[in-house]
């Protein structure tokens, strides 16, 4: 890219860095715009990244060619690791106490949310067939992508691609890309709208949340512990390494063994689990295994920005050429009905308090950005515990549900 008549020339890696920080600045500025008390927050980065992907993706390809997708994937994955590892450390001290008290509720809610979306996806397939879709397998592949995108689940997306016939793999990508956009934005807006529509008193709701959060966690005299560095980056990096290794463990789900469909926690689930355990114990002997609070919060926000940026640019590149209104409507319905049914089940049947319910819903929807927004709404990291408890259940359920959807149709 040349500016001011060629006086400034931005090429290669420098161009990519320019794009990353330009999208970050514009996106966060957009996220601050508030309409009737509702804003996009960090998800504003996703919108700007999406627009950039729609309009300027060829400029990235001109710089990096076939490595463009890899470059964006690296940015996205680094962001994801930073975010979920931070969330695990923050939630860890109270996580297991909260899980012990509410385990059945989180398991049930995770399954209810995924099952609701799955039923809606089946109805979308039946409607598509009734409208005269000539190739049922093609429709199923698209809806499987819509289902995984509406629930923002990359593992489900991968499972769908590995389950459909080879000629339909690109259609899964089409559906995922279309539904993922509203899947991100919809849940972000939902966790802001519900407290306003219910006229919730956030301080009171926080007090209720603290009563069921399992106490203050393990109390350790930090002055007696050896800190490896002032910011806790060593234990953070160690937790991420362990999490990546855990995420790579594969469990076969078919008679083909490791050559067939397999399940894994992926990097997201692995890093979350690892950091929860590190955060729960806090130390190994006299060596501190906890980053300081400011480091966790900084990594959490910066990681979320990078994740949304990488996903947004990649999604924008495919959005225009593959977009159809009916596909967007299908994704819209899957996302919204899953959240609404989950919310009423959480509050009316399970009797969870508002913030616990919303946090569990962000976990059930496997929505990393929405958790970041909910933390901002609540003004406390306490809400991360329910997300961390529900997320693994939803992760397993959405992968299996996606595969069953394809097998049935």
Please report the pLDDT score of residue 8 as a whole number: 64
Please report the pLDDT score of residue 225 as a whole number: 77
Please report the pLDDT score of residue 285 as a whole number: 82
Distance CA 83, CA 375 (A): 13
HSE toward the beta carbon, residue 154, CA cutoff 13 A: 15
- Residue with the bigger pLDDT between 265 and 217: it is 265
Please report the pLDDT score of residue 119 as a whole number: 95
pLDDT band at residue 7 using 50, 70 and 90 as cut-offs: low
Residue 300's CB is within 10 A of a number of other CB atoms, namely: 24
Please report the pLDDT score of residue 376 as a whole number: 86
Using the Cα atoms of residue 322, residue 327, residue 329 and residue 332 in order, give the sign of their dihedral.
negative
Percentage of residues of the chain with pLDDT beyond 70: 90
Task: Take residue 309 and report the two structure tokens written for it.
Answer: 């940026």
- Residue with the bigger pLDDT between 161 and 208: it is 208
Please report the pLDDT score of residue 214 as a whole number: 54
Asked whether residue 399 carries a pLDDT value surpassing 80, the answer given is no
**Which tens digits make up the pLDDT trace of 82-132?**
988 887 888 777 777 767 777 788 889 989 999 999 999 999 999 988 888
Distance CA 271, CA 82 (A): 9
**DSSP code at position 387:** H
Please report the pLDDT score of residue 2 as a whole number: 59
- Residue with the bigger pLDDT between 21 and 164: it is 21
Distance CA 262, CA 98 (A): 30
Place of tokens 């009171």: 204
Place of tokens 């690296």: 74
Beta strands in 203-343 (DSSP E): 251-252, 262-263, 283-284, 287-288
Long-range contacts of 252-259 (CB under 8 A, 24+ apart): 253/400, 253/403
Three-state SS annotation for 15-47: HHHHHHHHHHHHHHHHHCCCECCECCCCHHHHH
Task: Take residue 350 and report the two structure tokens written for it.
Answer: 């399970």
Distance CA 278, CA 276 (A): 6
Terminus-to-terminus CA distance in the chain, angstroms? 48
Alpha helices in 131-222 (DSSP H): 136-150, 154-163, 169-197, 202-211
Please report the pLDDT score of residue 6 as a whole number: 58
Asked whether residue 213 carries a pLDDT value surpassing 70, the answer given is no
CB 243 within 8 A of CB 275: yes
Average pLDDT over residues 55-73: 84
Burial letters 23-38, b for 16+ CB under 10 A, else e: bbebbbebbeeeeeee
- Ramachandran angles phi, psi of 353, nearest 5°: -70, 165
CB 320 within 8 A of CB 54: yes
Please report the pLDDT score of residue 215 as a whole number: 52
Helices 202-211 & 354-364 angle (0-180, nearest 10) = 80
**Which tens digits make up the pLDDT trace of 295-305?**
888 898 898 88
pLDDT band at residue 175 using 50, 70 and 90 as cut-offs: confident
**Which tens digits make up the pLDDT trace of 272-289?**
889 888 988 888 888 888
- Residue with the bigger pLDDT between 62 and 362: it is 362
Distance CA 103, CA 114 (A): 17
pLDDT band at residue 156 using 50, 70 and 90 as cut-offs: confident
Please report the pLDDT score of residue 345 as a whole number: 94
Please report the pLDDT score of residue 162 as a whole number: 66
Q: Which residues neighbour 5 within 8 Å (Cβ) at sequence distance 6 or greater?
A: none
**Which tens digits make up the pLDDT trace of 322-376?**
678 888 999 999 999 999 999 999 999 988 889 989 999 998 998 878 888 898 8
Average pLDDT, the chain: 83
Distance CA 252, CA 232 (A): 36
CB 288 within 8 A of CB 228: yes
Place of tokens 């394809």: 406
Residue 85's CB is within 10 A of a number of other CB atoms, namely: 32
Please report the pLDDT score of residue 344 as a whole number: 94
Please report the pLDDT score of residue 124 as a whole number: 92
Written as one string, the DSSP assignment of 245-278 is HHHT--EE-STTGGGS-EE--HHHHHHHHHHHHH
The secondary structure element, H or E, covering residue 290 is: none
pLDDT band at residue 9 using 50, 70 and 90 as cut-offs: low
Percentage of residues of the chain with pLDDT beyond 90: 21
């Amino acid at each position: 890219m040349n500016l001011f008549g060629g006086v400034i020339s931005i090429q290669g890696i420098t161009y990519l860095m320019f794009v990353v920080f330009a999208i970050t600045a514009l996106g966060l500025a957009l996220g601050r715009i508030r309409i009737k008390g509702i804003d996009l927050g960090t998800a504003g980065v996703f919108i700007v990244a999406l627009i950039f992907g729609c309009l300027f993706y060829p400029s990235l390809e001109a710089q990096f060619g076939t490595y463009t997708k890899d470059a964006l994937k690296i940015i996205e994955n680094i962001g994801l690791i930073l975010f979920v590892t931070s969330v695990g450390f923050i939630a860890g001290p109270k996580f297991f106490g909260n899980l012990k008290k509410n385990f059945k509720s989180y398991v049930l809610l995770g399954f209810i949310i995924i099952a609701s979306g799955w039923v809606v996806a089946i109805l979308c397939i039946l409607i598509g067939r009734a409208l005269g879709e000539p190739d049922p397998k093609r429709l199923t592949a698209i809806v499987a992508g819509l289902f995984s995108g509406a629930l923002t689940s990359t593992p489900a997306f991968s499972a769908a691609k590995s389950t459909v016939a080879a000629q339909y793999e690109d259609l899964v990508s089409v559906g995922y890309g279309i539904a993922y956009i509203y899947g991100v934005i919809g849940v972000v807006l939902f966790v802001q709208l519900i407290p306003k529509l219910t006229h919730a008193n956030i301080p009171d709701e926080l007090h209720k949340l603290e009563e069921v959060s399992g106490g203050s966690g393990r109390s350790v005299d930090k002055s007696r512990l050896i800190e490896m560095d002032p910011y806790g980056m060593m234990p953070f990096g160690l937790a991420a390494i362990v999490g990546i290794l855990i995420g790579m463990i594969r469990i076969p789900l078919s008679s083909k063994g490791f050559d067939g469909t397999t399940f894994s926690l992926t990097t997201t689930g692995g890093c979350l689990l690892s950091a929860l355990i590190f955060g729960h114990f806090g130390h190994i002997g006299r060596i501190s295994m906890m980053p300081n609070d400011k480091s966790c919060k900084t990594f959490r926000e910066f990681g979320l920005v990078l994740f949304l940026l990488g996903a947004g640019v990649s999604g924008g590149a495919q959005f225009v050429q593959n977009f159809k209104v009916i596909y967007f409507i299908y994704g819209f319905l899957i996302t919204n009905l899953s959240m609404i049914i989950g919310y009423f089940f959480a509050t009316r049947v399970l009797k969870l308090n508002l913030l616990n319910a919303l946090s569990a819903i962000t976990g059930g929807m496997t929505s990393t950005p929405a958790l970041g927004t909910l933390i901002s709404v609540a003004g406390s990291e306490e809400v991360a515990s329910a997300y961390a408890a529900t997320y693994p259940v939803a992760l397993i359920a959405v992968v299996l549900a996606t595969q069953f959807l394809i097998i049935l149709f």
